[in-house]
Structures are given as structure tokens and as C-alpha cells.
Structure 1
Amino acid sequence: MGFESYRQGAFTKRLADLPDQPNMQAAELKTYFDSSPEELRQALNRLCDALSEFSAAAKLGYTASAGVPAQTVQDAIENVQKQVRDASVGKLPSGCVDGDKLAQDVRNRLTAIEHAAESETNARTEADSAMQTDMNTVKTTLTVKTACNFGTYTGDGTEKRTISLGYHPKAVLVFRDGCYTGYSSAIYGGLASEDVPLMYGDSVGLGVTDDGFQVLNSRNCALNLNGYKYSFAVFA
């Protein structure tokens, strides 16, 4: 890479270049014999000095690999440092950690999340089926002579609120903003009859009362959000 200039070429004085009977003094002959080792010593010292410099790693070649794609030792070290920093903050390349490499507690958490998602899906399916059953029940209990009345109310944010009508309805249907009964896991409206209220867990989300109907505003059951307008239809 960057150390070609320190390569030792041919020696300046070679024994092969001397005549068989050199006409030289002893001291001169000794100096001649020592010249090649001295050149090698100086070249080696220069190389050692170069390798001791801070920039030496940037000149040393490195065989790139899939894990460390670098051409010099300096680049390879920096690449490994970056991977360690990324790993310390959880920034790992996609696919580098499979399920077998995860700690058991992490695997347990992932399994719990999967089970929770499956349970939620089943619960929503059951809720949809129950609502459809409730609607079918309401249809069979309402008579042809049923009178329909329509109205609106604006939510005041209280948890439990009764909308007074002055009479006992057989069923009530509530929508938010004219058309919404729900979104995702949130409930903004629905249908309730005398014997079949719209339940939110163990609480009545929408139910018929003696002189009207009651609504619930609690977490995802949003039938009385402050400032929102709701439309309703009652069947008497």
C-alpha cells in the first residue's frame, strides 16, 4: 500500500562485483563487506519509523470481508468501532440476530405479544358477532308500530351521563359526528335496546333508561367526549 518507498532494492556494493583478487586495503575491504548489511539496517530502521507513525494504519493493507468491508487497517478498525457503537444502542443490521440468539426473557415477551394480539383479534371478532346478534334481536323485538325520533347532544366530558327524553324508549342508536360508531378499538356509538345494552367491559357504554338513555365516557368508550356532537335515533 503506502510503504513501497521503503522496499530494499539491489545493494549498492555487491561481493559478486569484486574481482577475484581485489586491489584494496584491509580497511577498505571491510567497509565494502559491511556496506550491504548497513544498507539493510538503514532501510529496516526507516520502515520501523514509518510503522511507528500515527498514520501507519492508514497505509497498511487489509483484506476486505463481508463483515468488515475495508481496504486498510485504519478503515477496518473504524468500521469495527462503528459496529460496536451501533450495537450498544440497539442499531443492528436486519437479520443479524435470529430467534435462537435472543435471550429467553426477550423470546417470552415476543411470545406474550403474539398471544395478546391473537386474543385481541378473537375478542373483536366475538364482539362483532355479539353486536350482530344484538341487532338481530332488536329487529325481532321492535314492532311495526314503533315510532322513531331523532335528535342530537353535545358531549360534556362527564364519565356517565343520562340523556332525558321524557319517555321510556325501546331502543336507541347513537352516532358521533353524524356517522361514526367506532374506529379501531374505540367506540363512538352503537345500538342498545331495553334488554340488550351496549357493554364496554363490565360497564354499560350505551343503555336504555326509564326516561331516555345513558352514555359512558371512559377510555376507549367515547360516547360523551367534551365538545363533540352526537346524533341519535330512538325507537319508542
Structure 2
Amino acid sequence: MPSSKQTAHGLNLWEAQDHPLREDFVRDNQTVDDWLSKHIADTSLHKTPTDPAQLVCGTYTGDGGKLQTVSLGFDPQAVLVFPFQKGLLQKDSSGNLVLYGGIAAVGLYCGPLYVLKNKGFSVKNDTAGTAVYALLNEKDSKYCYVAFR
């Protein structure tokens, strides 16, 4: 007989004096199997062999404008940008430090690099007159990125 107590998922919690029947175990096993099958089939929780890669790598060339948007075709969770064949941190002619890379993520702000909710990210130059500044959109400079889904 089924127990008088059950878990939140409807499984039996027998007490010492209970006399469970085979059908009770079969029903519990079916409940567990149904729940696991539904969970495993939920592709919003699990990757499948046909899902796209977890990250995408690419390049863009700076246009020197106020803001450049790089379209990815998906909403990235995080983006890492770094210069192509150039040091990540350099000194300019005045001795100021110039950062040519950055990382941003959903909920993490990184000045010149923004993760967008409209399928990509944006970059800009951040030259606010400080001794350390960032150039992520320097005209004709090539940058690499890694975008995480």
C-alpha cells in the first residue's frame, strides 16, 4: 500500500510499520523516470550535439568612431576583446598607459566595452584625459574577441 507520507514529487515515504506493494515501487520508479526524462529533454538546460558552440571567436577593425557595434547573432553573456598582433598595454608618446583590451559581462560594466541585449557588443575609445585610458575602437587597428553564449 502507498505510504501516508510523500515527498514533494509524490514519492512514497514509508514508515517501519508500512507494507509497500510492488506496484508502489513501480509507480515511484515511473515518477522518477518521467521527471528525469522531461529534465534531460529540456534543451534550455542541457546542450545537445546540434547546439552551437559555447563561444565564438572573431575579429573587427576599429573605425575610430564614437561607438562601434559588433553583431554576433546571439546575446553574449560575456565578451573578451584584445588587440591583434599588438601588446595589450602600451605607453603613448606622452608616457600615458593605453589599454587595448577589455572584458565585459552581463551585469559587469567595463567602460569602453558593452555587452548588448540585441545580439552583440559595442566598443569605444575611452580617452577621458587620464594617465591610463582604453582604445578599443582605434581607427584601422585590428582586434580579436571571444564571445561567450
Q: Distance in 1 between matches of 2:147 and 2:86?
A: 16
Q: Deviations over 1:78-118 (max 9, x none)?
A: xxxxxxxxxxxxxxxxxxxxxxxxxxxxxxxxxxxxxxxxx
Structure 1 counterpart of 2:121: 213
Compared CA separation, residues 171 and 178, structure 1 to 2 (3 A): farther
Unaligned runs of 5+ in 2: 1-45, 48-52, 92-96, 128-132
Structure 2 counterpart of 1:159: 66
* 3-state SS, counterpart of residue 195 of structure 1: coil
Structure 1 counterpart of 2:75: 168
Higher helix share: 1
Q: Does structure 1 residue 198 correspond to structure 2 residue 106?
A: no
Unaligned runs of 5+ in 1: 1-143, 200-204
Q: Distance in 1 between matches of 2:103 and 2:110?
A: 7
Identity across matched positions, percent: 38
Q: Distance in 2 between matches of 1:235 and 1:178?
A: 22
TM-score normalised by the chain length of structure 2: 0.53
Compared CA separation, residues 196 and 158, structure 1 to 2 (3 A): same
Paired residues in the alignment total: 89
Say which structure, 1 or 2, has more relative contact order (CA 8 Å, 6+ apart): 2
Contact 1:181–1:190 at 8 Å: present in 2 too? no
The one-letter code matched in structure 2 to 1:228 is S
User: Which has the higher Rg, Structure 1 or Structure 2?
Assistant: 1
Higher strand share: 2
Q: Distance in 1 between matches of 2:99 and 2:79?
A: 15
Q: Deviations over 1:109-144 (max 9, x none)?
A: xxxxxxxxxxxxxxxxxxxxxxxxxxxxxxxxxxx9
Q: How far off its partner does 1:178 sit? A: 4.5
RMSD: 2.3
Q: Distance in 1 between matches of 2:78 and 2:88?
A: 16
Q: Distance in 2 between matches of 1:218 and 1:195?
A: 20
